[in-house]
Each structure stands twice: as C-alpha cells, then as structure tokens.
Structure 1
Amino acid sequence: MAALPPGIRRGVEMHRAIDLLTDQHPQVKALNALIAKRHGRYASVLTDIGFDHFLFLHWQDFGPEPFATFCTTTYHRILRQRPLMPEKAARFATGMVEGKWLRMYGTVAGMNDVFRRLKKRLSQPELLDGVDTLLVDHHAEFNQAFISLFPDLQTLADGYRPQTTDLSGPETDPLRPPA
C-alpha cells in the first residue's frame, strides 16, 4: 500500500474504516445474523451489496448530487484512474463504466443481476441460492439498519475527506471533480 499515491492510500484506509464500523454496528450484526441463516458466510457481503440498493432508495436524503450526475462523475473518475490500475482491474473498471453498473443498484432486478455476477465468483455459490428474494423478504430489516448506520458512515467519511481536494496531484486525485 505504501506504493500508492497518498490520495488513493487514504481512500483505502477510509474504506477499511467504513468496513470496520459497519461490521461493528449492532443493527448490521443483527441483519447479518438473520441473513446468515440462509446464506451463511456470505451474509456480510450480501448486506454490504444490499446497502448499495438502499443508498439508491434514499439517495434524495443522503446523496451529494442528483444520482445521474453522481454516476457520470464517478465513471469519469474511474476511467481517469485506469493508468494507475493493474491490467485486470483496468479491464474490470472499463466493463463497469460501459455496463453502467451503478444504475443496477436502483432496482431489485438490477440487484439480482449483481448477485448473479457475485455468485459466479464464489467458492460456495450454493450459499447464494434464493438470494433473489433477499431484498424483498428483508426490506424492513435492511432499511432500518441502513437508516441507522449511514449517518455514522457519513461522519466517518467526513473525517477522511481532505481540507483541499489535492491529495495526490491533479491527474490521480479520485476526489477531484472532473474539469
């Protein structure tokens, strides 16, 4: 990690802190325990992905800008960072942008597509059998945990955001809006 530009390194540190806070949150622990009954060791992964859907559902309350603008800006930032990525990650990023993956989080059908993609990469894909009903069956539990957790995540993220956007130079700063 020491070889990464400072802004990227700080982003990795923030992501790890977000994961830790999420995993320790009481309502998330309860949600994971509920999901683990059917999906075992992948419960926390499914919760994390499910929260992406609930962020979309609550975008008006928590999003920094209209969702379409956020997607355009995010895709631009991802593409701008490709030269820093290993070849496999760069191909993945290109596929994400070309497939407009962020919009998949807006619907249950899109989320089921996300879950299908995930299932192909798992050592125990059978643990995702029945995942297509997860967000509907446990909508209330996901929503309650998300609403409780997300303001804490925003506060945590605010502590990692730079006072200035110049973390690693104009060409590598993932937080700088495109020109």
Structure 2
Amino acid sequence: MNYLAHIFLSGPDTELMIGNFIADAVRGKQILQFSEGIQRGIVLHREIDAYTDMNNVVAETKNRLRPEFGKYAPVIADIYYDHFLAANFKAFSKQPLRTFTEEKYSVLQQNWQILPERVKQFLPHMMQHNWLLSYAELHGINQALTGLSRRTTFVSGMENAAQELKKHYELYDQEFRLFFPELIAFSQSRISDIGNPKPLQ
C-alpha cells in the first residue's frame, strides 16, 4: 500500500515507475504481457518488498503495531512510512510533492490502456482525492486507513491506526529515518543490477 514510496524509488524512468506502481496487480506469467522496462519495475517492486520485510527496523515498527492490529500491522506500517516520506519530501527530492504527484498521475493517465484492471478500478479515486499528496497530513492518513478498514473482510481496527501514529509519532518517525535511506540505496543498486527479468511464480 506504500504507493508513494514505490513511485519515488523508481527514479526518473517512466516504464520502471509504471511497473513498480502496478506490481501488486500482476500475477505470475502476466508479467510477460508488459514491456521489458515495465517488467523491470515489477521485479524492482517485489525486491523492495522482500528487502523491507526482512529489515530489522521495519520489524520493530510492525511488532509494535501487531498486538492491536494483528495481521494488518504490515499494511499500517507501509502507510505510516508513506506519511513520513510525504511529510519530509523536500529532504529526499528537489521537486515539491505536489509537482511530483501531478507528474506521476499524468504519466499513469497517459498509459491507461496498459494498466491492469485492478489498478484502473482505484486509480481514478486515488487521483480525485490525491492520496499521494494527502499522505503528508495526519488527516489524510486517517482517511486512507479508515477507507482500508471499511474494505477488509475481518475486523482490522485500522480506523484507529492514525491515533496510534499520533501517540507514538516521534518513535515511528525515527524508525522511518533509519530505514528509508537504506531502502533508497538498495533500490538504486537494484535498478543498476536488474537485467531481463524472468516471470516470478
């Protein structure tokens, strides 16, 4: 669910960004339906997720969330980290967040015909309510988490997760600041190394 981070970590490569953004909606051999550049973005997304899942700092964030939010702790952690990226965007990019998000929305619109159906279902709503920009504010995070809570099959408690963030804000912020520079370095390294991807099963 950390859409902003995945888009940001793609760098300036358009196809890489598209692949990174749509990866969760692509299964198995479906990857072969896309151009080589988009395939590389899908692979990058999956490697970013794997690296994040194994990181000790991220594990601390999720472990703190897990007693109250159970299996939804990783989703909440992703959204928290997107908040801190958005709120501190000028520390990571020379571009203002608003300009950055508008440019990425435009690219996705221009490539609408190749987007998976699952992405086409939520992208108009994302753009209308400007999720990527709204993540910078606590009320935006609250709206995102409350919306996710309404769509879960089981009771998730995610509608209360913004209050948890507010309560321990400095602690979560510190963990983000420890982790995200490492993730940037990892992503840049993988962008350089990823060759022709094979389908992931």
Within the candidate set 78, 91, 97, 1:67 is matched to 97
- State the match for 2:182 in structure 1: 152
Within the candidate set 41, 46, 49, 2:76 is matched to 46
- State the match for 1:26 in structure 2: 56
**In the alignment, does 2:109 pair up with 1:118?**
no
Distance 1:14 1:88, change over 3 A: closer
- Whichever residue aligns with residue 37 of structure 2, its letter is G
Q: CA deviation at 1:162?
A: 6.3
SS of match in other structure, 1:120: helix
Contact 1:10/1:160 (8 A) holds in 2: no
- State the match for 2:138 in structure 1: 108
So what's the TM-score if we normalise by structure 1?
0.83
Runs of 4+, deviation exceeding 6 Å: none
Can you list the C-alpha shifts for 1:11-61, whole angstroms capped at 9, x where unaligned? Answer: 111111111111111111111111001100110110001100000122121
- State the match for 1:130 in structure 2: 160
Structure 2: runs of 5+ lacking an equivalent: 1-30, 194-201
Contact 1:40/1:127 (8 A) holds in 2: no
Contact 2:86/2:135 (8 A) holds in 1: yes
The total of aligned residue pairs comes to 164
**Range moving further from structure 2, 82-91 or 4-13:** 82-91
Q: CA deviation at 1:77?
A: 1.2
SS of match in other structure, 2:171: helix
- Whichever residue aligns with residue 124 of structure 1, its letter is F
Distance 1:82 1:115, change over 3 A: same
- Whichever residue aligns with residue 157 of structure 1, its letter is S
**In the alignment, does 2:62 pair up with 1:7?**
no
Structure 1: runs of 5+ lacking an equivalent: 164-179
Distance in 2 between residues matched to 1:153 and 1:111, nearest whole Å:
22
- State the match for 1:81 in structure 2: 111
**In the alignment, does 2:131 pair up with 1:92?**
no
- State the match for 1:171 in structure 2: none
Distance in 1 between residues matched to 2:117 and 2:58, nearest whole Å:
35
Higher helix share: 2
**Could you say which structure has the greater relative contact order, defined with CA pairs below 8 angstroms and 6 or more residues apart?**
1
So what's the TM-score if we normalise by structure 2?
0.75
Contact 2:145/2:161 (8 A) holds in 1: yes
Identity %: 27
Q: CA deviation at 1:133?
A: 0.3
